[in-house]
Amino acid sequence: MTAGEIMSSSPLPRSVRRALEAMRANVGRHWRLAELARTAGVSGRTLQRQFLRFLGKSPVSVLRDIGFERARRALLRAGAGTRITDVALACGFPHCGRFSVEYRTRYGETPSQTLKRQMRFSAASAAASRFCTSPRDQPTIAFAGILTRADDETADDLAHELEMALTRSGASFTAQPANARYHLVGAIRGEGDEQRLLLRLFDRDTGRQLWAQRCDGILSDEIAADGHFATRIVAALQPQLRRAEIDRALQTPGTDLGAHELALRAMPGVIALDAEGNDRALELLSRAMDLDPGHALATALAAWAHLQRIVYHFSSDPRADRVRGLELARKAASLGGDANVLAVLGNALTLLDALDDADAVIRKALAVDGGSAWAWSRSGWIDVYRGDSQSAIERFAIALDLAPHDPLAFNSMVGMGCAYFDAGQYAQAAHWQARALAEHPSAIWAHRTLCPAYLLGGARPEAHRSLHALRERYPDLTLSEVQVSLPPLPLPYRERLVEGLHDAGLPD
């Protein structure tokens, strides 16, 4: 039970409310029961009895809880120069050693561990500032906090973490709906263990609800103060926010299109990973880069799109596409960008077989926004290319857990299948590859890896059907072309894959 949590279903007496207000306003003060009772307007015995009845704890215990809650918040929001002894004293704990022991018992880590984690996060956030998109290109979200029926510090903490997670994801926020494109509304409903958090995202211009999420049983202080929970909420919100931004760009009159709107219009074609979308996207991205040669998102998307043409058999001139993709990837790396831009750049770099560079970029993306499903997925692909199938499976699972409905989720499923193939688990590999194709039927190129998985798993009829689908879409495809176009898979993986396609009947 946290400080001020009500045991009885009856409203708190005025005396208890007054005492709690005094405690919270003067956390570092060494309160005596008689002083609190005078502030509350009752006798010490009455106040003691009321606290035990309504809060289940004595005033002294509640004061201690409030002190620890305040200390934890201070450490989680610490800046440069913060000292644990100063925080402990300010929160009413003159003996730092005893404070540290009880803090660890309550929160599962020492105060120094909390402070070190926050300092690392603050350093990453400061380093990330140069990778943020320009304010003009950021989706602006109005968020005025989380509505609750009473003064709820847990709700305040959670609102703060949500604001930070939104900022890391590339959005900007304001408390004024009139100044925003979108409106995020949060509310706490229910009592006690039945409390739940409700969140809804609206388009401010149309009033249309774009996204909603309900979270049950999560309103403890530990979870509210844990940025990972807020990160997961924002990760779930991101695909719908991105879709809304793309829709907004599609509705923008042609005469008003800037580089950012053109890049957003191109994005569905790039992430579709099919030939028609790729052609359309490159035309839009060329226009975007003509308008703004330094637009990071357009440049990174164009680099990835050119390299897709080689890997997915869209290209009539693979050498030219590789040269152009390399040129654009180098330029995008010099421009920086938010986590989305870095994830897209990481995609391009992996297809160039620049795995160390890709790994560095993806690590940077995850430092900026640990909830970027795109970055987690690409980190999984890097592990596939390095032959670390177990790590790849774990990373793809994180990406799918963060954003199961993202348009690129199918590519994480393809990656999951590739990782299981590398591990020799062919039935699982075929399951994930087939699931990816069910989610995204136009990704016919996935049959290159699905067919061998079926064959090596003993499902020969399914393998022949898979090869038929591949050759129907790419009638001139040969084994030599597959070997040239494959991404940088480990040699043993490539040999098994090519052998499987050969045994299934793909010509040399």
pLDDT score for 192? 62
pLDDT digits (tens, 9 = 90+) for 66-94: 999 889 878 876 766 788 999 999 999 99
- Residues 413, 179: Cα–Cα separation, whole Å: 39
Please, which pLDDT band fits residue 34 given cuts at 50, 70 and 90? very high
For the entire predicted model, the pTM comes to: 0.70
Using the 8-state DSSP alphabet, how is residue 387 labeled?
Answer: T
- Domains of the chain in start order, with CATH, are 14-128 (1.10.10.60), 138-251 (3.40.50.11830), 254-337 (1.25.40), 401-508 (1.25.40.10)
pLDDT digits (tens, 9 = 90+) for 207-219: 899 999 887 765 5
What whole-number percentage of the chain has pLDDT above 70? 89
pLDDT score for 289? 96
Determine the average pLDDT of the residues in 375-397: 93
pLDDT score for 288? 95
Between 326 and 186, where is the model more confident? 326
**Is residue 9's pLDDT more than 90?**
no
pLDDT score for 434? 96
The helix or strand, by DSSP H or E, that contains position 205, with its residue range, turns out to be: none
Please, which pLDDT band fits residue 381 given cuts at 50, 70 and 90? very high
- Residues 492, 26: Cα–Cα separation, whole Å: 67
pLDDT digits (tens, 9 = 90+) for 142-187: 887 888 766 666 777 788 888 888 887 878 777 677 778 899 988 8
Determine the average pLDDT of the residues in 373-382: 94
Cα torsion angle, 255, 259, 265, 266, sign: positive
Cα torsion angle, 138, 329, 356, 351, sign: positive
pLDDT score for 39? 93
Contact 489, 385 (CB under 8 A): yes
Please, which pLDDT band fits residue 231 given cuts at 50, 70 and 90? confident
